[in-house]
Chains A and B, each alone.
Chain A
Amino acid sequence: MAYAYLFKYIIIGDTGVGKSCLLLQFTDKRFQPVHDLTIGVEFGARMITIDGKQIKLQIWDTAGQESFRSITRSYYRGAAGALLVYDITRRDTFNHLTTWLEDARQHSNSNMVIMLIGNKSDLESRREVKKEEGEAFAREHGLIFMETSAKTASNVEEAFINTAKEIYEKIQEGVFDINNEANGIKIGPQHAATNSTLAGGQGGQQAGGGCC
């Protein structure tokens, strides 16, 4: 499908915080109570519209366990956005955020937009991390913040779309060099096709080869 831009996302955070469930809810609009363990990396993609432009999100869902950190690091490169997820019912997943953030900042490009997500907001009775704490952490580290529930789908769309909006704004501001793929942004065939209708086939092919 034609799109104007392609953004690469990465989802990170401790094991069992619901990273894969967030992705599944976003791409498939469904919830799986017992989700398979993510080992290595999984992919998801969805098209969204911002400012009348079709934007394709390519989302890399990573393994959260500490053992996999050394492998996960290689996925940061070329990501435009990151969803850093913790579980509001497990304090330690919140405590580990600093390590995650360090890792992300160290291995990604400096302009990467990071969205902090406190997941499992439906489990209010088991809450261990207050919403205010999440907001404070986000403020302190310059992140966007949201509490979501992959189960009820609350705020899931928003989390992904708001991140995209932020990236899009940065593009408009000229912060991102969209010709450098290492920034996790690619121009889609939609742009290429507008240049010439005659060379559409060729242009499409080029774009196809260059983007995902």
Chain B
Amino acid sequence: MFHGGESSATGLIAGCLYGLLYGLKHVPSGLYQNLEKKEKLEALGVKLYHTASAEKNLEKAEQERPQGVISLENNIAVNGRTLKQLILEHLTGPVVREILDTLLQYITQELPRLGTDTQKRPVNKDTMNKNIKKPGVRQPTSFQLLQSKYMLSNPKPALTHRREVGTLKLKQVYKLMKMDKPINETGQERKGARLKVRDMIARFAAVEQKKTKFETRDLARHVNQGPVLSNVIKRLKDLPNLQKRNGLNEHKMPECAIKYNTLGIKKAAKQKEAPKQKKAQGLFILDKQEKQVISKSASLKKHSISLGEQPSPLAVVKCSPYNLLETEQDLVCLSLTQRYGKVQRIFSDLCCTGLVHGRRLILGGLSWDCFMPWTLESCAEEAAGETRTMEKARSSQQQQQQPQHRINVPSNARERISRVDPYGFERPNDFDYESYEELMSEYLAILTKRTIKWSKFLKGRSHIEKSLKVKRYVRKGIPNEHRALVWMAASGAQEQMERNSHYYSSLLQGQHDPKLEDAIRTDLHRTFPDNVQFRKTAEPCLQKPLYNVLLAYGHHNKAVGYCQGMNFIAGYLLIITKDEEKSFWLMEALLSRILPDYYTPAMLGLKTDQEVLGELVKVKVPAVWQAMVENNVMWTLVVSRWFICLFIDILPVETVLRIWDCLFYEGSKILFRVALTLIRHNQALISQARNLPDICDCFKQITRGQFVEDCHPFMQNIFKEPGSLPMATITKLRAVCRARIIAEES
């Protein structure tokens, strides 16, 4: 094709479009004859066609309805005003908003232009419904609407003024957020977490005070005044009673959810002035999902909570069950949507129900507490904004007392961010907390989005089949909670494990090779000494599982036994899967299927791949190749560790895991993509090096810094920067290089 990206996908799309326009007649039959799942696709096409035709036919039925109402399938009455409100409604997604814009334009401009005598005739003032459609006018199909959007000569939306919803200043508020917690929650960590919640409540209290100009203890009075705040406080106040009844149990949760739902509707109604039940339902579809999850989650884990006697909200929070349902991630994942405006709102509503209170939020592997300062703070700010006018009027009369609770948020990133990363690695002394925080504030948004997508995708799926969609999803990153699952599925490890269910334990039971045992034992304390999970004092300590996995693998694959580097790989697998057997099978998949023979005594696969990389660099980054030759640098000097450790300890942990996502799905080719990206991106630096140590330094330098820390753009880069890299090329190069090495060695 014409570009360096996804040529196959582009070709596919182009082909589809051609087929749509001209039919199959002109397409050479060879191109589609042996198409996989052809029958199914054709059947689907027919169905699609019928559905589309049915939509067109709706107009006939339409004529039997009350005159002039455009009815969509979900029976929401549509008129200009409703549409306009929908568009103005800030909960409406951008895509939906655009479609609605077009629809509005279609109704108000296109229809009249079509020459029909459109009238606006109020039918029922009570429901604020107006009929704008004249009988006989064809109702536009969804396709037509979309078409009108993209094909119109004047595609400008009818509405240019949109309500500023308010943006969440992520950077700013992010500073308030302690982003990650160590996997092993220590008492100290909890203390830190509580502090945050207390701060939050302090904020709430402050805003509440400002808003109501009443004393904070008189809470009940404001319940219906403040949109968010008083509810939160009320719920928190109620929490002890609720929890005294043996925690948040099954019966209680759905009830709360329903409350939440009503509240949402009420709120929507209030915003709209004219309540529209249907619309409210539409807007809160999410509620239903959440309700399900909530009731589901409630049955999963009960927690008995010890509570203090103090009734104040602060006390409640202090004694709150901080780990309540901490393993339950769905709820919060679902609650978060891509758009922060919405997240904010949903969160505030959830907070009202007390349901998310104290729950840990797990997002794409990074966890922090559900009481996210930014969320609540922005809610509070919003609440404050709404009552600002009222406040102005009163402020002259009353001198406000200071907020009861002082806000005590750590002032710098170093204090806000844990010393240990989410995988248990201690951050180095020179770790740049500030830029990490900045970087993560963007990455978390991506993680959230991916988490939602993956959760949706995996729901009710027993196994994952390879497809373009999954490939795309994998490239964009697998959320940490699904990593083990997807790795197992994509690599075939799951299948192997199921087929050989007792194999792993049998490997550990038999007689062991003392030499192997010794070799593994020598490296145990040298494997991730910077990771708290691998310390002897850790509970549980991963050294024993590491030993087991390596020992089992050594016996399973006697040709390899144990080779240094494997300890790091097994270590990462244990960190992610938290399961010895899974780690063993993933290791098996990597070493026997995904990677060539990197770890056999001759290391022929490794030597070959190092040379293959050299050949690729020669073609794709000639300047670097030149520098390597001039300074007489062997590739093995600079890249052996990249291949042996699969970038562990070379690149940042998060980046390595993102690479592994693709490695398990797409195979060893990914290693070349990463290596080529690093080299090509830094070619100016490398080609400036004047001697061997300089070059070696360069190769270390290029694995550090923003470019690799920022893992999401980096992963996008590895599929762009090196350009096309067909597997056929690599296979060919491997054969050539392997033959050369064998010839040289003999």
Q: Do A and B bind each other?
A: yes
Residues of A in contact with B (beta carbons under 8 Å apart): 15-16, 34-37, 39-41, 43, 45, 58, 63, 65-71, 74-75, 208-209, 211-212
**Interface 9-mer from B239-247, B344-352, B441-449, B601-609:** B601-609
A110 smallest CB distance to B (angstroms): 21
* B645 interface contact, C-beta 8 A: yes
- Given contact pairs A34-B525, A34-B529, A40-B637, A58 touches B693 in the complex (Cβ within 8 A): yes
B703 smallest CB distance to A (angstroms): 13
- B644 contacts A37, C-beta separation under 8 Å: no
Residue among A35, A63, A75 making CB contact with B564, cutoff 8 Å: A63
Write 8 A-B pairs (CB below 8 A) sorted by A numbering.
A15-B523, A36-B649, A39-B645, A40-B640, A70-B602, A70-B607, A74-B636, A212-B691
B741 smallest CB distance to A (angstroms): 10
**Which residue among A35, A40, A65 has the maximum number of chain B CB atoms within 10 Å of its CB?**
A40
* B526 interface contact, C-beta 8 A: yes
Residue among A67, A208, A211 making CB contact with B563, cutoff 8 Å: A67
In the complex the two chains form, what is the Cα distance from A208 to B690 in whole Å?
7
Note all chain A residues with C-beta closer than 8 A to B692: 212
Note all chain A residues with C-beta closer than 8 A to B563: 65, 67-68
In the complex the two chains form, what is the Cα distance from A63 to B527 in whole Å?
15
- A71 contacts B636, C-beta separation under 8 Å: yes
B598 smallest CB distance to A (angstroms): 10
- A208 contacts B636, C-beta separation under 8 Å: no
- A71 contacts B693, C-beta separation under 8 Å: no
Residues of B in contact with A (beta carbons under 8 Å apart): 519, 522-523, 525-527, 529, 561, 563-565, 567-568, 599-603, 606-607, 634, 636-637, 640-641, 644-645, 649, 690-693, 696
In the complex the two chains form, what is the Cα distance from A15 to B565 in whole Å?
13
- Given contact pairs A36-B649, A40-B640, A43-B696, A65 touches B690 in the complex (Cβ within 8 A): no
Q: Which residue of A lies closest to B560 (CB)?
A: A67
In the complex the two chains form, what is the Cα distance from A209 to B183 in whole Å?
50
Residue among B526, B601, B644 making CB contact with A36, cutoff 8 Å: B526
Residue among A15, A36, A67 making CB contact with B599, cutoff 8 Å: A67
Note all chain B residues with C-beta closer than 8 A to A71: 603, 606-607, 636, 640
Note all chain B residues with C-beta closer than 8 A to A63: 564
- B693 contacts A67, C-beta separation under 8 Å: no
In the complex the two chains form, what is the Cα distance from A56 to B363 in whole Å?
51
- Given contact pairs A65-B563, A67-B601, A70-B603, A37 touches B523 in the complex (Cβ within 8 A): yes
- Given contact pairs A40-B640, A68-B564, A209-B690, A74 touches B523 in the complex (Cβ within 8 A): no
In the complex the two chains form, what is the Cα distance from A35 to B110 in whole Å?
74
- Given contact pairs A15-B564, A71-B603, A74-B636, A39 touches B641 in the complex (Cβ within 8 A): yes
In the complex the two chains form, what is the Cα distance from A123 to B198 in whole Å?
53
Note all chain A residues with C-beta closer than 8 A to B649: 36
In the complex the two chains form, what is the Cα distance from A43 to B697 in whole Å?
9
Q: Which residue of B lies closest to A58 (CB)?
A: B693
- A-B interface, 8 closest residue pairs, ranked by CB to CB distance from nearest: A40-B640, A67-B563, A34-B529, A212-B691, A40-B641, A65-B564, A39-B641, A16-B522
Note all chain A residues with C-beta closer than 8 A to B603: 67-68, 70-71
Note all chain B residues with C-beta closer than 8 A to A212: 691-693
In the complex the two chains form, what is the Cα distance from A3 to B567 in whole Å?
41
Q: Which residue of A lies closest to B637 (CB)?
A: A41
Note all chain B residues with C-beta closer than 8 A to A35: 526
- A74 contacts B564, C-beta separation under 8 Å: no
B469 smallest CB distance to A (angstroms): 37
- A211 contacts B644, C-beta separation under 8 Å: no
Note all chain A residues with C-beta closer than 8 A to B523: 15-16, 37
- A37 contacts B636, C-beta separation under 8 Å: no
Residue among A34, A45, A65, A69 making CB contact with B693, cutoff 8 Å: A45
Residue among B564, B607, B637 making CB contact with A37, cutoff 8 Å: B564
- Given contact pairs A68-B603, A208-B690, A209-B690, A39 touches B522 in the complex (Cβ within 8 A): no
In the complex the two chains form, what is the Cα distance from A112 to B634 in whole Å?
21
In the complex the two chains form, what is the Cα distance from A200 to B291 in whole Å?
80
Q: Which residue of B lies closest to A210 (CB)?
A: B691
- A74 contacts B634, C-beta separation under 8 Å: yes
Q: Which residue of B lies closest to A64 (CB)?
A: B564
In the complex the two chains form, what is the Cα distance from A187 to B341 in whole Å?
67
Note all chain A residues with C-beta closer than 8 A to B690: 208-209
Note all chain A residues with C-beta closer than 8 A to B645: 39
In the complex the two chains form, what is the Cα distance from A165 to B606 in whole Å?
38
Query: With contacts A39-B644, A45-B693 known, what are 10 further pairs, Cβ within 8 A?
Result: A15-B523, A34-B525, A36-B526, A37-B567, A39-B645, A40-B641, A41-B637, A71-B640, A75-B637, A212-B691
In the complex the two chains form, what is the Cα distance from A88 to B135 in whole Å?
100
In the complex the two chains form, what is the Cα distance from A175 to B10 in whole Å?
66
In the complex the two chains form, what is the Cα distance from A111 to B526 in whole Å?
35
- B644 contacts A40, C-beta separation under 8 Å: yes
Note all chain B residues with C-beta closer than 8 A to A209: 690-691
In the complex the two chains form, what is the Cα distance from A14 to B459 in whole Å?
51
Note all chain A residues with C-beta closer than 8 A to B634: 74
In the complex the two chains form, what is the Cα distance from A34 to B535 in whole Å?
12
Note all chain A residues with C-beta closer than 8 A to B564: 15, 37, 39, 63, 65, 67-68
